[in-house]
Amino acid sequence: MKQIYFDHNATTPVAPEVFEAMLPYLKDEWGNPSSIHWAGRAPKKAMEEARDMICEFLNCSPVELIFTGNGTESDNLAIKGTALSKKKKGNHIITTRVEHPAVLNTCKYLEKEGFEVTYLGVDKEGIIDIEELKAAITDKTILITVMYANNETGVLMPIKEIGEIAKEKRITFHTDAIQAAGKIPLDTKELNCDLISISAHKFYGPKGVGALYVKRGARVVPLLHGGHHERNRRGGTENVAGIVGFAKAAELAIRDMEAEGKRLALLRSRLEEGLLERTPHTLLNGHKTNRIPNTTNISFEFIEGESLLLNLDMLGVAASSGSACTSGSLEASHVLIAMGLVPEQYHGSVRFSLGKLSTEEDVDYIIEKLPPIVERTRSMSPLWDAEKGTGAEIEFSAKSCLK
């Protein structure tokens, strides 16, 4: 069977160059980089070189980079670490309703610990209102955390503008740039951020390694107390092979990002136009231009996303959905709800995230196969009136959702 992978925002395949670069540190160079003897020398050198490469990727200095275990840890370290280091100055945090759970649930945890959190809404295109952000700032505000690219829609937040406001008010500014890294340039000198989270496996690096950029002068209290690793900011023997792979992925991203971004943007347009033209009652979710080039989120109204994903999977196509049924938690997409979509729309959303594996042939295959699936699934839906080709009128029981 065909295998078509359109879920690069979930994870990406490890690039062959990354795999090759990692191998020596899983095999012969197994030493602990903290050791002063012969066994530690090569791993230590490899790690320093890797750190330099990732600093080139972010345009920052080696002292400004902390390696972590993944993107979630980077977000936790940024948010909890700042909250703890600045708790004497204030207890107010500003974020948005569309963040990744790694940010949202960290903020919710801090609320239980006595911090106050403002969750900014977004407009129908998925972007926050800068004036609303300004109005939310109080003299107790210690941290603003707003994602760069949204994982579900790919929509970009106005990070530079937020950073300028934060700088002026002396508020620490963190951005979760995990979906942006490797897809668009991340230049710390331009972004006005104090803290930036990134993760290797989202751009052809290995799983199990991430990083947090911490601007000189910003202070985060460690989550993991231990040895002197990462300048006492993250205890634990380093994942040397993972870090080396991370650096190779960064190197490839520096080389390929621009050309690959253009290629993916064209493929995405082809996919969007193909699907929207062939299927009525279909909706593109998120800002049309202000987004990373690989992601599209489309709602097929009056049907449920998991049914579509199952049908696509049977054809070998991997994608994801914001429907409640696919979430594991049985909650529908908080991102699409925040954007004002109604249930008939958000349950029928499908995210296609393109990447190195995606070809024009794949796109055309989906354009050919998906519309008949949508039509068949709609013909089974009580929300769809096939004769009129529109939504059906139906009365519901008032029963609340069973979970």
Partner 1 sequence: MYSEKVMDHFTNPRNVGEIEEADGTGTVGNPECGDIMKLTLKVENDVIKDVKFKTFGCGAAIATSSMVTELVQGKNLNEVEGISNNTVAEALDGLPPVKMHCSNLAADALHAAIDDYKKNHSKE
Q: Judged by CB, which is closer to partner 1: 292, or 332?
A: 332
Q: Judged by CB, which is closer to partner 1: 64, or 344?
A: 344
Least spacing, CB of residue 1 vs partner 1, in Å? 15
State how far the Cα of 145 lies from the Cα of 128, in Å rounded to an integer.
12
Question: Are 192 and 159 spatial neighbours (Cβ–Cβ below 8 Å)?
Answer: yes
Least spacing, CB of residue 70 vs partner 1, in Å? 24
Least spacing, CB of residue 350 vs partner 1, in Å? 13
What residues pair up with 22 in beta bridges, in sequence order? Answer: none
Task: Mark out the alpha helices in 86-158 (DSSP H runs).
Answer: 101-112, 130-136
Q: Judged by CB, which is closer to partner 1: 91, or 321?
A: 321
**Cα distances (angstroms) measured from residue 72 to each of 53, 79, 132, 185, 394:** 22, 11, 27, 21, 42
The two beta strands, 390-391 and 92-96, are unpaired
What is the total count of residues that contact partner 1 (CB under 8 A)? Answer: 33
Applying CB under 8 A, which of residues 32, 359, 379, 390 lies at the interface with partner 1? 379
Least spacing, CB of residue 336 vs partner 1, in Å? 12
Site for partner 1 in 50-89 (CB under 8 A): none
Active site residue 325: yes
Q: How many CB atoms lie within 10 A of CB 114?
A: 9
Applying CB under 8 A, which of residues 82, 106, 279, 381 lies at the interface with partner 1? 381
State how far the Cα of 353 lies from the Cα of 317, in Å rounded to an integer.
12
Three-state DSSP class for residue 195? strand
Contact pattern from residue 161 through residue 200 relative to partner 1, giving x for each residue in contact according to CB under 8 A and a dash for the rest: ----------------------------------------
Applying CB under 8 A, which of residues 27, 37, 216, 399 lies at the interface with partner 1? 399
Strands (E), 272-388: 282-284, 295-300, 317-318, 320-321, 349-353, 384-385
Can you give the length of the chain in residues?
403
Q: Judged by CB, which is closer to partner 1: 14, or 332?
A: 332
State how far the Cα of 29 lies from the Cα of 24, in Å rounded to an integer.
6
Instruction: Return the closest-CA partner of residue 350 out of 336, 329, 369, 330.
Output: 336
Least spacing, CB of residue 370 vs partner 1, in Å? 16
DSSP type of residue 142: E
Q: Judged by CB, which is closer to partner 1: 224, or 325?
A: 325
Question: Are 218 and 172 spatial neighbours (Cβ–Cβ below 8 Å)?
Answer: yes
Q: Judged by CB, which is closer to partner 1: 269, or 379?
A: 379
Applying CB under 8 A, which of residues 101, 190, 380, 390 lies at the interface with partner 1? 380
Residue linked to tokens 């972590």 = 68
Q: Judged by CB, which is closer to partner 1: 131, or 395?
A: 395
Site for partner 1 in 292-351 (CB under 8 A): 302-304, 306-307, 310, 314, 323-326, 328, 330, 332, 342-344, 347
Pick the piece of the chain touching partner 1 (CB under 8 A) from 49-57, 128-136, 365-373, 395-403: 395-403
* Selected catalytic residue, list 60, 107, 193, 325: 325
State how far the Cα of 360 lies from the Cα of 358, in Å rounded to an integer.
7
Applying CB under 8 A, which of residues 63, 135, 266, 394 lies at the interface with partner 1? 394
What residues pair up with 282 in beta bridges, in sequence order? Answer: 300
Instruction: Return the closest-CA partner of residue 117 out of 89, 88, 97.
Output: 97
Write out the catalytic residue numbers.
325
Q: Where along the sequence are the contacts to partner 1 (CB under 8 A)?
A: 302-304, 306-307, 310, 314, 323-326, 328, 330, 332, 342-344, 347, 379-383, 394-403
